[in-house]
Chain A
Amino acid sequence: MNRWRQLLASSAVTSFISSLMAIVVGLAAGFIVMLISNSSQAVRAFWVILSSGVADMRNIGQVLYFATPIIMTGLAVGFASRTGLFNIGASGQFTVGAFLAILVSIRSLALPGPLPWILGLSAATLGGALWGLIPGVLKAWRNVNEVIAGIMTNYIGMYLVNFLITRTVYDRLRNQTLRVPPRGTIPKMGFEHIFRVGNSVSSVNGGIVIAAVTAILLYILLEKTTFGYELKACGLNRDAARYAGINENRSIILSMMISGALAGLGGGLLYLAGAGKSLDVVDVLAPEGFNGIPVALLGMNSPLGIVLAGLFIAYLTVGGFNMQLFRFAPQVIEIITAVIIYFSAFALLFKNFLEGRLVPGRLLEREEEGEPTAERGGGS
């Protein structure tokens, strides 16, 4: 019993359970909506949502494809959170990265071998880093809240990219960027032979590998290096970090740069995927950037958790496409994701609740120092 309790109480396990609870609540909410709109088909359609992500090889491939960009933006948001910053500017960084990837790749098609897409992704990463640098510098030097600066750079980034597209790689007919020809896209790495059903090939490509490797590198950076130690110290307790002589401003700037680079690379990975997707000239902020926030929340800001969360959201997305066979509005899937996202914000609450239930000893030790008792004794 005690060992069971201890296992449950370990923070990794409580994190996992609380994320799981968010997911269950989200799915239940989606199911209720489906019951209301068409109860006769609801069970079958719901089963499709749950199962179609692994129904055949092509679908599995699609899950990986959809997961790639949101894993990247999830990593961007999660990394910033670990260092005490809220990077809401991931959307702008993503867009800037996407545009630079397309531009550089198309302009360097004449170069040999894999250079076009490698240069494209490099440009995406640098552009994202630059776009993250702006709120970072403003925060470090002028103490401007990174959320406000992030929101503003989102809009600046979007409009600037829209403007630059019309001046550079513009497809006037479709009001979007030109298509990146296969030579300029990320190689499929043989995935096209695995993830297919008959002639129908999934869009998955080397991008998912890059995302996975990035997550591993990020994990190493955060957990094993002195740089990660500094960043996390700043994130957990800025005052103590300063007292220990850690250069807080440098940490803020570098952290925002890295976060921006991750989001920018995500943009590059999506638009150089070779799935025929082009960047539209529309006045809408890229949703992938915002989707990184719930992915990071659901993944509890840990690189591994974020990869899993990204895969999960992508899995639901694929299920949502297939559910439409039962004539449900595709928006149901958005409701489900929205509720999960909503409850993944509560994941922390669940976590505290679980820890409170399972580890009262922790509560006690603080009680004994006198403070919390006093707090609660308040109103008398």
Chain B
Amino acid sequence: MSFLIEMCGITKSFPGVMANNDITLQLKQGEIHALLGENGAGKSTLMSILFGLYAPDKGVIKKNGQEIHLHGPGDATRYGIGMVHQHFKLVHNFTVLENITLGVESTRRGMLQMEEARERVLQLSRRYGLEVDPDALISNITVGMQQRVEILKMLYRDNEILIMDEPTAVLTPQEIEELMKIMQGLVEEGKSILFITHKLAEIKRIAHRCTVLRKGRHIATTEVATTTVEELSEMMVGRKVDLVPPKSEVELGEAVLQVHHLTVLNQVTQKAAVNNVSFTVRSGEIVCVAGIDGNGQSELVYALTGLLPAAAGSVYLDNREISNFSIRQRLLSGMAHIPEDRQRHGLVLDYSLAYNLILQSYFTPRFSRRGFLRLAPITVYAQELISRFDIRAGQGSGTMVRSMSGGNQQKAILAREIDGQPRLLLAVQPTRGLDVGAIEFIHRQLIEQRRQGAAILLVSLELDEVMNISDRILVIYEGELVADVEPLQVSYQELGLYMSGSKREVMV
């Protein structure tokens, strides 16, 4: 049996790290082949090799049985290999058409021939069911549409092997549904897809075969139809994983966070990004704010943490009004916060791990005396958290956080935030970009905090996360809360409708 693309015995090592160790990947013509693995498993390195960014130390790449050598992305394009990156590479003030043709414009005597290009784009979009408006500006179309533009870019270049790097990460449930249909259409038209993902359900849903990598090694290539989700996750992580974290019943306590008619303005447009929002989070409860990115979640969190002023309304923590508290006063009153952008807001990347773990408590008597840092207790404390939260850091507490992996950076933030036994924990997309093992760990920690009586406000874009761990779901749409439901009483589809604004519950 011949394969369209064959990567045989690929080995790539960097000093001290074996990123790919004798990996074999075989892509058949016309299949959707999933590439599954945790962060650091070697997926990116493998795809970089296929895309010509790295040369492998050992191993060969074959296309239709012929050995090929890739010396750069240009070569990859020549062999029909294209990639949709997780973060799109589009020029925002160009039109769809201009973006698609960028770099391969058809010209005559140095003049652009856009009409030809337009014809071809329309033709492609009809053939593959990728509806787009060629004259719309990228900045005016939705993320789902932008992704279609990326796919069209690959098709326009006659790529037959499409690498898609976590394509569903940024989409709503409805958009994911459409993407799946498009992917199926592409395959029916003879394209082949390499699909990188963390999400097991999607693999199950759409992929034909799946190659699992772990720690740089090839673990298995399986037929998806005959493999269960549990088996896949076990192959990926190397042990059994609870995909749905076990939750015990917890007696609801008193209201910890009370928000009354909160309005927050967008700092640029001065329009209400959060509009007259009221809700309560009680002790022992995980309340999830669900919604499509950019519907006011960030502003809501900024206002609660004190980073942005509230234009109107009030916030109470343990029955104490904190609306005018400084950030530090809020932290000292028992608020903890896992920020959305961990590298920007959560960590000082060029500080050591130990210094990052005391970022909010460096001034307390435990870590300082008469204005001087007490290095010994700081180190001991860091070591304690490192072992308790299993933070992997090459040089222990002195490791620069910049050199740590994303999952371990997130663990460091989590450790710092929940070690202070917060009354209220604001967790904003705490599992974004993490692999199954790390997600499980973080979910368990959140549930443990709930058991200990903390109130948890979780902002998440992942519907699985919303459904699996929350006790109550608030849906936010264009800065307003449009639903307050319990996960057992609502379906994914219904939630999707709330999130897209097509449906709303009358909120009091």
In A343-380, which residues have CB < 8 Å from any B CB? 360-365, 367-371, 373-374, 376-380
Q: A237-B349, A370-B165, A379-B73 are in contact. Are A242 and B307 (CB under 8 A)?
A: yes
Q: Give the shortest distance, in Å, between B81 (CB) and chain A (any CB).
A: 8
Contact pick for B345, options A225, A239, A378, CB 8 Å = A239
Q: Which residues of chain A have C-beta atoms less than 8 A from B39's C-beta?
A: 368-370
Known: A225-B372, A243-B345. A369 touches B405 (CB 8 A): yes
Q: Is there a chain A Cβ closer than 8 Å to B326's Cβ?
A: yes
Interface residues of B in 308-364 (CB under 8 A from A): 326-332, 337, 339, 344-351, 355, 359-360, 362-363
Tell me whether B345 and A240 are in contact (CB under 8 A). Answer: yes
Contact, CB under 8 Å: B327 / A224: no
- Does A47 make an interface contact (CB < 8 A)? no
Interface string of B288-305 (1 = CB under 8 A from A): 000000000000000001
Pick the contact of B371: A226, A246, A364, A368 (CB < 8 A): A226
The answer to whether residues A377 and B53 also contact, given A241-B348, A242-B327 and a CB cut-off of 8 A, is yes
Distance from A26 Cβ to chain B, minimum over Cβ atoms (Å): 28
* Chain B residues whose CB sits within 8 angstroms of the CB of A373 once the complex forms: 44, 47-48, 51, 53
* Contact of B344 with A240 in the complex, beta carbons under 8 Å: yes
Cβ A377 vs Cβ B403 within 8 A: no
Docked CA distance A165–B477 (Å): 66
How far, in angstroms, from A224 to B369 measured CA to CA in the complex?
11
In the assembled complex, B487 has its CB within 8 A of some CB on chain A: no
A377, B347: Cβ atoms closer than 8 Å: no
From known contacts A226-B362, A361-B14, A364-B17, infer whether A243 and B339 are also in contact, taking CB-CB under 8 Å. yes
Once the chains bind, are B14 and A364 in contact (CB under 8 Å)? Answer: yes
Given contacts A226-B371, A243-B346, A361-B15, contact A236 B82 (CB under 8 A): no
In contact, A243 and B349 (Cβ under 8 angstroms): no
A224 to B373, Cβ gap below 8 A? yes
Decide if the interface of chain A is mainly helix, strand, loop or mixed.
helix
B166 sits at the interface (CB 8 A): yes
A163 within 8 A of B: no
A227 to B362, CA, bound (A): 10
Beyond A227-B371, A240-B346, A242-B307, is A370–B44 a contact (Cβ under 8 Å)? yes
Closest to A371 in B: B87
Report B-chain residues with C-beta under 8 Å of the C-beta of A227.
Answer: 371
Interface pair A237/B348, CB less than 8 Å apart: yes
Q: Is the CB of A361 within 8 A of B16?
A: yes
Q: A245-B331, A368-B405, A374-B87 are in contact. Are A380 and B346 (CB under 8 A)?
A: no
B120 interface hit (Cβ, 8 Å): no
Q: How far is the CB of A2 from chain B (nearest CB, A)?
A: 8
Q: Which of A236, A245, A363 sits near B327, CB closer than 8 Å?
A: A245
Contacts of A237 in B (CB 8 A): 344, 347-350
B399 to chain A, nearest CB (A): 11
Q: Mark B156-177, 1 if CB is under 8 A from A, else 0.
A: 0100000001100000000000
Q: How many chain B residues touch A (Cβ–Cβ < 8 Å)?
A: 62
The interface residues of chain B lying within 8 Å CB-to-CB of A378 are: 73, 89
Produce 1/0 per residue, A235-260, CB < 8 A to B. 01101111111110000000000000
Task: Return chain A residues, CB-CB under 8 Å to B339.
Answer: 243
CB distance A240 to B44 under 8 Å?
no
Q: Is A229 an interface residue (CB 8 A)?
A: yes
Q: Is A240 in contact with B19, judged by CB distance below 8 angstroms? A: no
Given contacts A368-B39, A370-B86, A373-B44, contact A226 B368 (CB under 8 A): yes
Tell which of B14, B86, B360 touches A360, judged by Cβ atoms closer than 8 Å. B14
Known contacts A233-B348, A369-B433: A245-B360 contact under CB 8 Å: yes
Report the minimum CB–CB distance from B21 to chain A (whole Å).
Answer: 14
Q: Does B83 belong to the interface (CB within 8 Å)? A: yes
A245-B360, A368-B39, A374-B165 given; A236·B351 CB < 8 A: yes
Q: Which of B42, B347, B368, B406 contacts A369 (CB 8 A)?
A: B406
B85 within 8 A of A: yes
The answer to whether A240 and B403 touch (CB under 8 A), given A226-B371, A368-B19, A377-B51, is no
**B19 contact set on A, CB distance < 8 A:** 364, 368
Interface centre among A226, A233, A361 (most CB of B within 10 A): A226
User: Of residues 351 to 397 in B, which have CB atoms within 8 Å of A's CB atoms?
Assistant: 351, 355, 359-360, 362-363, 368, 371-373
Closest residue on chain A to residue B342 by CB atoms? A240
CB-based contact B73/A224 at 8 Å: no
CA distance A240 to B344 in the complex (A): 6
How distant is the Cα of A74 from the Cα of B402 in the complex, in angstroms? Answer: 28
- Distance in Å: Cβ of B354 to nearest Cβ of chain A: 11
Contacts of B350 in A (CB 8 A): 236-237
Q: Mark B466-482, 1 if CB is under 8 A from A, else 0.
A: 00000000000000000
Q: How far is the CB of B143 from chain A (nearest CB, A)?
A: 16
Q: A243-B345, A245-B327 are in contact. Are A365 and B403 (CB under 8 A)?
A: yes
A-side contacts of B73, CB under 8 Å: 376-380
Tell me the smallest distance from the CB of A199 to a CB of chain B, in Å: 49
Q: Is B134 an interface residue (CB 8 A)?
A: no
Tell me, in angstroms, the Cα distance from A246 to B345 when the chains sit together: 12
In the assembled complex, which residues on chain B have CB atoms less than 8 Å from the CB atom of A368? 19, 39-40, 42, 44-45, 405
A240 touching B405, Cβ below 8 Å: no
| B351 contacts across to A, CB distance below 8 A | 232-233, 236
Interface flag for B77 (CB, 8 Å): yes
In Å, the complex CA distance between A200 and B345 comes to 60
For the complex, what is the distance from the CA of A253 to the CA of B137, rounded to whole Å? 44
Minimum C-beta distance from A375 to chain B (A):
8
Mind listing 28 A-B residue pairs with CB under 8 Å? A225-B371, A225-B372, A225-B373, A229-B355, A229-B362, A229-B373, A230-B362, A240-B344, A240-B345, A240-B346, A241-B348, A242-B327, A243-B307, A245-B360, A361-B16, A361-B17, A364-B45, A365-B40, A369-B39, A373-B44, A373-B51, A374-B86, A377-B48, A377-B53, A377-B85, A379-B103, A380-B51, A380-B157
* 9 closest Cβ pairs, A-B complex: A245-B328, A374-B85, A244-B359, A245-B327, A364-B14, A237-B348, A380-B73, A243-B345, A368-B40
Residues of A near any B CB (own CB < 8 A): 5, 224-227, 229-230, 232-233, 236-237, 239-247, 360-365, 367-371, 373-374, 376-380
Having A225-B372, A361-B17, A379-B103, one finds 13 other A-B pairs with CB under 8 Å, namely: A229-B355, A233-B351, A240-B346, A240-B359, A243-B346, A245-B327, A245-B329, A245-B331, A246-B328, A368-B40, A373-B48, A377-B73, A379-B89
